[in-house]
């Protein structure tokens, strides 16, 4: 009996340690994501409210470089993260966030400031609710992953095609589907970040935990940005 109680006490202590570590891990994920969003917002506002800079970037072929550079960086990040230190991965993420701000800065010239603020508020509330559900639900939603990723690929292809077609109807359809896909990804990624931590917590590999938090922040950041952009396309008031 004494041996059983010792084992039980040890198991309870490990469980409490994992719970405490998970809270710290999630706090780092959301904190890193929030700093990235702040950097994106500041760069977007600084460039987007400057007519000369908007014209210099989006009125020339340079706009294609600015528009596709974040996508290239995402693929590059996934390819090299295992060779980066946690500090280097964090610097890469913040550089990416600043570049994303440059890429979406045109919204300040295309939409009213009030509609941007309103859409951001709706996005923040929706994101918080979806992420909270993904974190607390007992339902295993890991099976959603493959379908959502295929949806993202379809969105990218359709968006590139519509750059040349310029179809409002296709853009509306892309935006509606995009909102649904990134809403699902927000819940899915939150649960995956939590599950991955619990599975690896026993090893307590600080380097892995550091890079895992940054990758988690990147995934949630991308979900937030895309959810915001698709909602802005649907809700935003044009200048």
**62-71 tens-digit pLDDT:** 888 888 888 8
181-220 per-position pLDDT tens digit: 999 999 999 999 998 888 776 665 666 777 888 999 999 9
Q: How confident is the model at residue 57 (pLDDT cuts 50, 70, 90)?
A: confident
Helix axes 62-80, 206-235, angle to 10 degrees: 150
Residue 239: per-residue pLDDT:
63
Q: How far is CA 140 from its chain centroid?
A: 21
Q: DSSP assignment, residue 237?
A: P
Q: Which of 12-21, 113-122, 123-132 is predicted with the least confidence, judged by mean pLDDT?
A: 12-21
HSE-up (13 A, CA, CB side) for residue 179: 16
**Contact between 25 and 209 (Cβ < 8 Å):** yes
Q: Which residue has the tokens 């470089």?
A: 65
Q: How far apart are CA 98 and CA 62, in angstroms?
A: 17
pLDDT above 70 covers what percent of the chain?
Answer: 89
Confidence band of 14 (pLDDT split at 50, 70, 90): low
pTM comes to 0.88
22 exposure class (CB count in 10 Å sphere: 0-12, 13-18, 19+): middle
What separation, in Å, do the N-terminal and C-terminal C-alpha atoms of the chain show? 74
Per-residue pLDDT tens over the stretch 79-90: 777 787 888 888
């Amino acid at each position: 009996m004494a041996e059983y109680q010792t084992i039980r006490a040890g198991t309870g202590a490990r469980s409490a340690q994992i719970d405490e570590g998970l809270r710290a891990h999630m706090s780092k994920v959301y904190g890193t994501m929030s700093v990235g969003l702040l950097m994106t917002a500041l760069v977007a506002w600084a460039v987007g409210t400057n007519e000369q800079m908007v014209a210099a970037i989006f009125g020339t072929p340079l706009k294609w470089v600015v528009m596709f550079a974040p996508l290239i960086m995402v693929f590059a990040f996934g390819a090299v993260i295992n060779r980066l230190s946690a500090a280097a991965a964090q610097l890469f993420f913040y550089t990416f966030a600043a570049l994303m701000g440059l890429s979406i800065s045109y919204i300040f010239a295309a939409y009213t400031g009030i509609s941007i603020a309103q859409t951001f508020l709706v996005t923040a509330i929706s994101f918080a609710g979806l992420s909270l559900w993904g974190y607390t639900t007992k339902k295993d939603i890991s099976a959603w992953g493959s379908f959502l990723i295929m949806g993202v690929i379809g969105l990218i292809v359709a968006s590139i095609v519509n750059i040349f077609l310029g179809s409002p109807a296709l853009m509306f359809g892309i935006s509606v589907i995009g909102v649904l896909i990134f809403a699902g990804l927000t819940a899915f990624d939150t649960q995956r970040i939590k599950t991955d931590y619990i599975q690896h917590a026993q090893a307590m590999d600080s380097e892995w935990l550091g890079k895992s938090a940054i990758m988690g922040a990147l995934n949630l950041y991308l979900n937030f940005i895309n959810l915001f952009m698709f909602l802005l396309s649907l809700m935003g008031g044009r200048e």
